[in-house]
């Protein structure tokens, strides 16, 4: 039996690791599963844990107001020391690009414990975009012993960096989570209809999300101006669950709070976001997870970033990079709203990020190595 320790701290990590945790826990003859959350996100993390019925064994509660990346990293590294002593795991599993993932991998390396890295190999090519995620990924890749990549392109990125052993192309676990979540959501359809009764679904719904540090300030203001212009159309309603970070919420509410066809709402619990994604016409986002999920729902994406490590969606045609240029965002949104042929092309491309069986492939590899 392998003693496995999962370390994560944010909502996206929890979503992407939930299917793997749940399936590993069912295989009790092979895996003794322990879950440690750092609390890098708090309310948003707890929502996902509750939805997937995951109870952490350890919670570091590390977040403090206006905490710097330096202090955040130092606290996680320091607090994980006692967890490793208590659990003494055979393997540590981390996912993605967060400070929690990097710190977890670093402490595992210090303890000479093998590291399995889920969603390895993503690269934007710009060490400051996304920041600090791009460099976090590169550092975790160097520390990891097992590299689970979502696509062939991600695997080739690792090969180009000299990482060639134990690289496995498995797809992205976010698709596993998406299908698991949708099954639950469909059983409670009326609850979601009632929750979103303020939306006029006779119109085309544009879902907007945003949280990237590199878009703070003027870039975010440019996006807001574009949304105001798009929302002037009679056939459109914009729904924007606004991130809690004041660097985002303050300018968004200042610029868009009085627009009648833009609904600014609080961040959505994961199942409510899934339901709304499924009902939307297309999505404007800077989220990596949504770039991976939306193609399975046949929703075109406009990505408000200058570069993305999710290149596969751009190449496949499910998404377009529009950056934070107001005119470009308005132009591409208008095209999707008025050109049925182009909309159909973007919405019908198969998801390049997987088929919903990534967790099973990871488990098969780990239990046989």
DSSP class of residue 23 equals H
Choose the catalytic residue: 42, 243, 298, 357.
243
At 339 the three-state DSSP class reads coil
Residues 299 and 280: beta-carbon distance below 8 Å: yes
Q: Which of 57, 90, 111, 213 is catalytic?
A: 213
- Cis, peptide link before residue 130, omega less than 30° from 0: yes
Greatest alpha-carbon pair distance for the chain in Å reads 61
Per the annotation, the verdict on 119 as an active-site residue is yes
Instruction: Choose, from 13, 34, 91, 119, the residue flagged as catalytic.
Output: 119
Residue appearing with tokens 């399936």: 23
**Marked catalytic residue, from 133, 261, 292, 309:** 133
Check residue 53 and give left, alpha or beta (phi > 0: left; psi -120 to 50: alpha): left
Active site residue 298: no
Annotated catalytic residue 213 = yes
Contact between 86 and 60 under an 8 Å Cβ cutoff? The reply is no
Catalytic residue from among 97, 293, 309, 332:
97
Q: Is 57 a catalytic residue?
A: no
Residue 211 bears catalytic tag: yes
Angle (CA) 35-15-242 rounded to 5° is 125
How far is the C-alpha of 203 from the C-alpha of 103, rounded, in Å?
45
Q: Is 312 a catalytic residue?
A: no
Rounded (5°) CA angle 155-133-346: 60
Task: Give the active site residues.
Answer: 97, 119, 133, 211, 213, 243
């Amino acid at each position: 039996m392998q003693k496995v320790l999962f370390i994560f701290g944010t909502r996206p990590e929890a979503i992407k690791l939930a299917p793997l945790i749940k399936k590993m826990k069912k295989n009790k003859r092979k895996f003794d599963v322990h879950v440690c959350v750092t609390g890098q996100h708090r309310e948003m993390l707890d929502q996902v844990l509750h939805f997937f019925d995951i109870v952490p064994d350890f919670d570091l509660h590390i977040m403090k107001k206006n905490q710097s990346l330096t202090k955040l990293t130092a606290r996680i590294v320091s607090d994980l020391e006692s967890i490793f002593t208590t659990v003494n795991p055979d393997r540590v599993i981390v996912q993605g690009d967060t400070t929690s993932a990097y710190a977890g991998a670093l402490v595992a390396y210090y303890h000479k414990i093998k590291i399995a890295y889920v969603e390895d190999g993503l690269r934007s090519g710009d060490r400051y975009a996304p920041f600090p995620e791009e460099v976090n990924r590169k550092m975790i890749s160097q520390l990891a012993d097992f590299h689970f990549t979502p696509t062939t392109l991600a695997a080739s990125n690792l090969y180009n960096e000299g990482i060639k052993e134990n690289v496995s192309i498995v797809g992205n676990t976010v698709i596993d989570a998406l299908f698991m979540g949708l099954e639950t959501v469909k059983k409670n359809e009326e609850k979601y209809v009632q929750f979103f009764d303020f939306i006029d679904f006779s119109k085309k719904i544009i879902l907007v999300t945003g949280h990237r540090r590199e878009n703070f300030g003027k870039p975010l203001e440019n996006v807001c101006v574009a949304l105001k212009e798009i929302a002037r159309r009679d056939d459109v309603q914009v729904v924007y669950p606004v991130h809690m970070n004041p660097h985002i919420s303050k300018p968004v509410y200042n610029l868009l709070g009085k627009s009648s066809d833009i609904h600014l709402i609080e961040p959505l619990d994961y199942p409510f976001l899934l339901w709304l994604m499924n009902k939307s016409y297309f999505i404007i986002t800077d989220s990596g997870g949504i770039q991976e999920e939306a193609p399975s729902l046949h929703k075109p994406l406009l990505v408000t970033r200058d570069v993305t490590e999710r290149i596969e969606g751009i190449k496949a045609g499910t998404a377009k990079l529009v950056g934070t240029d107001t005119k470009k965002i308005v132009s591409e949104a208008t095209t999707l709203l008025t050109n049925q042929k182009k909309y159909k092309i973007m919405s019908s491309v198969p998801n390049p990020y997987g088929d919903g069986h990534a967790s099973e492939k990871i488990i098969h590899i780990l239990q046989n190595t």
